[in-house]
């Protein structure tokens, strides 16, 4: 089976030149960094907050905070990982404001009875996503991931959608590697379980 490959690749030299220039006050250089990562930050923010306006604010606030604090960025981690950490914190803060009745933390480790043990085991149709229009599919995927605890969907989006490594995800979230792995496994299995009802093979489907 092929490995799931990472998505975000960055040439460190070019990036560190931009970071140094931005740190020295070059806003154009910082704008290049914004252009490089704004889509990723927006996607992460929207996955966590599940709210478009909040996601928009998170992107603005995260980049502004990054600009203001570039002096503290030591370059030991990648700029993107450092930026993601800022963005995740901003997104969680927004989520807490919207849902003050619930304590929302990235440390949250909800462990219900067999929460990730597969209950329904059914094979899926070949290319199951093609049974739906693009809009329907986005609706299904959005609703499905919304049902996951924030800490699970945060790990899932960083690791599986944005392609950060387990170590980078752990560093961005200030979690241990085993904690990231545990949340990732449960997030993946819970999403799989919830998608079953949309994608499972129905009578009459031909076998691949």
Partner 1 sequence: MKCSDFLKELTDYLDNTMDSHTKAELEEHLQWCHNCYVVCNTTKSTIEIYRDSKLYELPDELRTRIHSAIVTKCECHKNSVAAPSPDKSVKQDEGSSK
Residues near partner 1 (CB under 8 A):
1-4, 7, 25, 27, 30-31, 34-35, 38-39, 42-43, 46-47, 55-56, 59-60, 63-64, 67-68, 116-118, 121-124, 128-129, 134, 137-138, 141-142, 145, 156, 160-161, 163, 166, 181, 184-185, 188-189, 191-192, 195-196, 199
Q: In angstroms, what is the minimal distance from the CB of 101 to partner 1? A: 25
Cβ distance to partner 1 smaller for residue 67 or 85? 67
Cβ distance to partner 1 smaller for residue 40 or 89? 40
Cβ distance to partner 1 smaller for residue 98 or 138? 138
**CA–CA separation, 82 vs 56, rounded Å?**
19
Q: In angstroms, what is the minimal distance from the CB of 67 to partner 1? A: 5
Question: Among 96, 72, 98, 97, which residue's Cα sits nearest to residue 85?
Answer: 72
What values do phi and psi take at 200, rounded to 5?
Answer: -70, 150
Cα 135 versus chain centre, distance? 20
Q: In angstroms, what is the minimal distance from the CB of 161 to partner 1? A: 6
Max distance between CA atoms of the chain, in angstroms, equals: 64
Q: Which runs of consecutive H residues, i.e. helices, occur in 50-158?
A: 52-68, 79-98, 134-146, 150-156
Q: In angstroms, what is the minimal distance from the CB of 103 to partner 1? A: 25
Q: Do residues 170 and 183 lie in contact, with contact meaning Cβ atoms separated by under 8 Å?
A: no
């Amino acid at each position: 089976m092929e490995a799931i490959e990472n998505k975000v690749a960055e040439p460190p030299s070019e990036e560190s030149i931009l970071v140094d220039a931005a740190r020295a006050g070059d806003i154009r250089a910082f704008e290049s960094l914004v252009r490089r990562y704004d889509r990723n930050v927006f996607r992460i923010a929207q996955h966590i907050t599940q709210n478009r306006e909040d996601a928009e604010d998170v992107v603005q606030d995260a980049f502004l905070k990054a600009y203001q604090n570039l002096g503290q960025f030591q370059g030991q981690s990648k700029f993107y990982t450092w930026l993601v950490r800022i963005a995740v914190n901003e997104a969680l803060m927004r989520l807490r404001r919207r849902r003050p009745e619930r304590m929302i933390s990235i440390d949250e480790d909800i462990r219900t009875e067999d929460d990730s043990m597969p209950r329904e085991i059914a094979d899926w149709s070949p290319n199951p996503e093609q049974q739906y229009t693009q809009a329907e599919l986005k609706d299904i995927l959005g609703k499905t991931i919304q049902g996951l605890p924030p800490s699970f969907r945060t790990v899932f989006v960083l690791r599986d959608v944005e392609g950060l490594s387990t170590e980078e995800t752990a560093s961005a979230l200030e979690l241990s590697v085993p904690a990231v792995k545990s949340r990732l496994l449960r997030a993946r299995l819970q999403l799989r379980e919830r998608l079953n009802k949309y994608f499972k093979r129905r009578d009459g489907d031909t076998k691949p």
